[in-house]
A and B are shown apart, each in its own frame.
Chain A
Amino acid sequence: MTRDVFIPRNLEALWDLLDEDPESRVFAGGTDLFVRLRRDQAVHPSLIGLERIEELQALEEDGPDVFIGACVTHARISASPLVKKHFSVLEQAVRVLGSPPIRNMGTLGGNLVTASPAGDTIPPLTVLGAEVEVRSRGASRRLPIREFIRGPGRSVLEQKEILSGIRLRKDNVHTVHHFEKVGQRNALAIAVVSLAAVLRLSESGVVERARLAWGSVGPTVITSREVERIIEGRPLSRQVLEEAAMQAQKEVSPIDDLRASADYRRRVAGNLLLRLWTRLKTLDES
């Protein structure tokens, strides 16, 4: 059976298509959906590709914010001077996402709507306090990324709504941006555990603010004020991070799967915090 595939050129055309057939599946890069459709031949909705809708392609400054359209590819994000300057933690994450062709195809919006527990952009966007913009014909709403993703593969998107982009406040607050992913290999690795961290260090090295988010160790991203509070208000040291790592192991809720055991994930979730120390040492020396 043949599926229809529509490639609308603007939002108006998209809303018309969605009105006509609200069951259609919307896709951006297709790197996730086409793998799933092939596995599940029984699903035969028509498909709508968002790749040519201009409004979803913007990557631009908007006063104190930066707006990244849902269909901006990971390759474009990783090449953007604006992202590198203000959101290094996001740039570090997309640089190791998938592989070059996957980064040329896959989009930021697609990564969020897919809502995989291992989605590489979700921890960085969480620590940066990203807001998600959701649109439908004649309406738009904004919500924090934490409220957008409801569980593995589930977002708050309703029928005939799309994710149109994300909005980030330019980060003048944090002095350290760090992302690390542990996978089974370097390229094309689905995260076994990932950690996004942004810190504000005072001149004397005291952590004034810490925001941490782990991927792949729970149904969605894991954050913990408990762990952040252990780090905040103290000079950053290996000992402080060890304390925080102990707590982090209690806060995450990983599962066993074909890529790693829950025990291993728990241990690595803590150890990734210790790697933050190694990383700062390297930055100091350079």
Chain B
Amino acid sequence: MNIRFVLNGKPLTVETPPDRRVIDLLREDLGLAGTKECCGSGECGACTILVDGDSRLSCLMTAAQLEGRRILTIEGAEEDPRLRTIQEAFVEWGAVQCGYCMPGMVLASAALLSRTPNPSREQIREGLSGNLCRCTGYQKIVDAVEQAAALLFRGHQ
């Protein structure tokens, strides 16, 4: 079936089986391999994407559900200054180890900061509680989000 949606700011029509998992559509069909798959069952957050601004798990969604939605993946960082700021804070604060959880972490952080622009460390932990880092580098991830929040928050003042 034909599905129309906006991907990283660009309108798109794709011809795909309606039950194609969104993660497969992104990685295999559209060549956007930034979104990672890890558990495939909603427990790790590696495949997090933003759908109309909310974090969702692309391994538990079918292509048919994308019709008319605005999707943001990590590749959208190129055009999105907020995502870039978060990415750079992750790099600067040494929050990236093996890197596999990063796309999900960055998008989950963006979703958190859009609702809670100035979060406490506890709120950051809660906001990222659906994203596992298999290197367990959580302290630095929280540091980085705190830093990104400060930069973005200041930018708004």
Task: Write the residues of chain A forming the contact surface with B, with a CB cutoff of 8 angstroms.
Answer: 2-7, 30-31, 34-35, 38, 47, 49, 51, 75, 98-102, 104-105, 186-188
In the complex, the answer to whether B19 meets A101 with C-beta atoms within 8 Å is: no
Looking at chain B's contact residues, the main secondary structure is mixed
Report yes or no: B129 in contact with A100, Cβ–Cβ below 8 A.
yes
B17 and A2 within 8 A (CB): yes
| Chain B residues touching A, range | 20 to 34
B129 and A6 form a contact (CB under 8 A): no
List, in ascending order, chain B residues with CB within 8 A of A186's CB: 129
| CB pair B64 A7 closer than 8 Å | yes
Binding site for A on B (CB under 8 A): 17-19, 21, 40-43, 45, 48, 54-57, 59-65, 67, 108, 111-112, 126-127, 129-131
Measured CB to CB, the closest approach of chain A to B34, in angstroms, equals 17
CA distance A3 to B21 in the complex (A): 11
Q: Is the CB of B18 within 8 A of A105?
A: no
Residues of A within 8 A of B129 (CB): 99-100, 186-188
| A5-B130 CB under 8 A given contacts A99-B45, A100-B108, A105-B57 | no
Residues in chain A near residue B127, CB distance under 8 A: 100
Contact B56 A51 (CB under 8 A): no
Chain A nearest Cβ from B101, distance in angstroms = 13
Question: Which residues from chain A contact B56 at a C-beta distance below 8 Å?
Answer: 101, 104-105
**Is the Cβ of A3 less than 8 Å from the Cβ of B19?**
yes
Give Cα A100–Cα B18 distance, bound, in whole angstroms: 26
Are B18 and A3 closer than 8 Å at their CB atoms?
A: yes
Q: A99-B130, A187-B130 are in contact. Are A104 and B55 (CB under 8 A)?
A: yes
Nearest-CB residue, chain B, relative to A103:
B130
Q: Chain A residues near B41 (CB, 8 Å)?
A: 35, 38
User: Given contacts A99-B131, A100-B126, A101-B42, could you give 9 more A-B pairs where the C-beta distance is less than 8 Å?
Assistant: A2-B19, A4-B18, A7-B65, A31-B42, A31-B57, A34-B21, A100-B55, A101-B130, A104-B55
Determine how close the nearest CB of chain A comes to the CB of B36; give it in whole angstroms.
14
